[in-house]
Amino acid sequence: MNIRFFNARILTMEEEKDIFEGELWVKNERILFTGDKNDLEGYYKKNEESCIIWDQEIDCKGNLLMPGFKNAHTHSGMTVLRSFADDMPLQNWLFEQVFPVEGKLTAEDVYHLTQLAILEYLTSGMTAIFDMYLSPFRIADACIDLGMRCVQVGSINRFGPTMDVIEKEFLELNNYGPLSSYILGFHAEYTCEKELLERMSELSHKYKAPVFTHNSETKKEVEECIERYGCTPTKLMDSLGLFDFGGGGYHCVHMTDEDLQIFKDRNLYVVTNPGSNTKLASGIAPITEMLERAIPIAIGTDGPASNNCLDMFREMFLVTGLAKLREEDASVVSADKVLKMATVNGAHAMGLHESDVLAEGKLADLIMIDLNQPNMQPIHNIVKNIVYSGSKQNVKLTMIHGKILYQEGTFYLSKTPEEIYREADNIIKRVCSV
């Protein structure tokens, strides 16, 4: 479809480019044009014979177009456990509540539970997710069927699957369609034997591929790794060659200076998850130190069992708010840096370099932010409004791959929300029963 957005404020998230008033055009899945009145005149001069027939023209009425948020760490299928396993330390939460329920889930269950999460992602303005969970092929199907862009990461651990399965997922899910991709990974050091980590390193070297994992989420995790191997998880993984081709870590709360230097030297991504870390009392990540070392940071919600809300607005506020509290300095971690973490950095961590900014030729993964809500007035600074006072209520439209999937409270999907809720309720009644 050819879609014209006009009367818009536009935040492209390109370096050194301020918000401007203008138009954005979408042709099929890509951005054809974005610019102000002068840019538009130049476009017509260069393309005098071009005639575009619009399938849809949307008057933005002064609202903001910007790149969609990238949820750089989540476990979508864990919607089954939302508000079921709460108020427990991480280790008890995992082994006493999460793993027993997950053992009952089928691949078909994960398909439907993922779609429940997608509804929430769309209302929060998320146009891509970095998902780590069971049954990757059915996760891909769930996302493709609803139009969500999904990058999956391997979650191998001592309970399975095999390394052959991980390699199969890597090869096939990277050729599963334009909305699907896959990055190598494993659950965490504490759920993997050293031999398994070594084999993951071999696979990474075979394909020269980055690796992601949960890393240094809790103090206990780090202490037990030091007891086992005499070093931190980051140091262990680096010594095994797991980061030779990049990648990164989820959480990264309890990091030593040496750990941070490894991330800096290897150009690894930190994916911070402040909502989950707060709820599980895991700690506050040293975001300020990471920024001082120019370590790239992205933002994730973690899963709906540990957060429990899949809301990028809340995560953005917590990233900056907790950093200010940790450092006792209100000036650290500014709103513009946080918004970049939630958009551009997330896209780059996930390998989505065509979905990072709003520019000609980029994929049309964008959102419209309603500025005509009380929490967005007055408009002194739009970026600060988004990070400090924004909420899901401000997401007016979510477009992925050139298709409007959510607008003004209505979903434009292959299924109705009621159908998705019904399937999820049936699963929850079965697997969560005592």
Residue pair 268/246 in contact by the 8 Å Cβ criterion? yes
For residue 118, what pLDDT is reported?
A: 98
Give residue 84's pLDDT.
83
Pairing of strands 149-153, 126-131: parallel
Multiple choice CATH, 2-67+356-411, 2.115.10.20, 2.60.40.10, 2.30.40.10, 1.10.1040.10 = 2.30.40.10
Phi, psi for residue 147 in degrees, rounded to 5: 90, 15
Q: What is the mean pLDDT of residues 119-134?
A: 98
> DSSP secondary-structure letter at 292?
H
Residue-wise pLDDT tens digits, 372-429:
999 999 999 999 999 999 999 999 999 999 999 999 999 999 999 999 999 999 999 9
- What residues does each domain of the chain span? 2-67+356-411, 69-349
Q: Which residues pair with 185 in a beta bridge?
A: 212
pLDDT digits (tens, 9 = 90+) for 178-216: 999 999 999 999 999 999 999 999 999 999 999 999 999
Measured in whole angstroms, the distance separating CA 94 from the mean position of its chain's CA atoms is 22
Residue 100 confidence (pLDDT): 87
Topology of the domain covering 69-349: TIM Barrel (3.20.20)
Secondary element (H or E) of residue 288: helix 287-292
* pLDDT tens per residue across span 273-316: 999 999 999 999 999 999 999 999 999 999 998 899 999 999 99
The confidence band for 51, taking pLDDT boundaries of 50, 70 and 90, is confident
Burial grade of 359 (CB within 10 A; 0-12, 13-18, 19 or more): middle
- Written as one string, the DSSP assignment of 82-122 is TTTS-SS-HHHIIIIIIHHHHTT--HHHHHHHHHHHHHHHH
Q: So what's the pLDDT on residue 99? A: 83
How confident is the model over 259-276, as pLDDT tens digits? 999 999 999 999 999 999
Specify burial of residue 414 (Cβ count, 10 A radius: 0-12, 13-18, 19+). exposed
Sorting pLDDT into bands at 50, 70 and 90, what band is 41? confident
Closest CA to 179 of 211, 135, 237, 139: 139
Q: What is the pLDDT of residue 98?
A: 82
b/e per residue, 214-246, with b = 16+ CB within 10 A? bbbbbeebbeebeeeeebbbbbbbbebbbbbbb
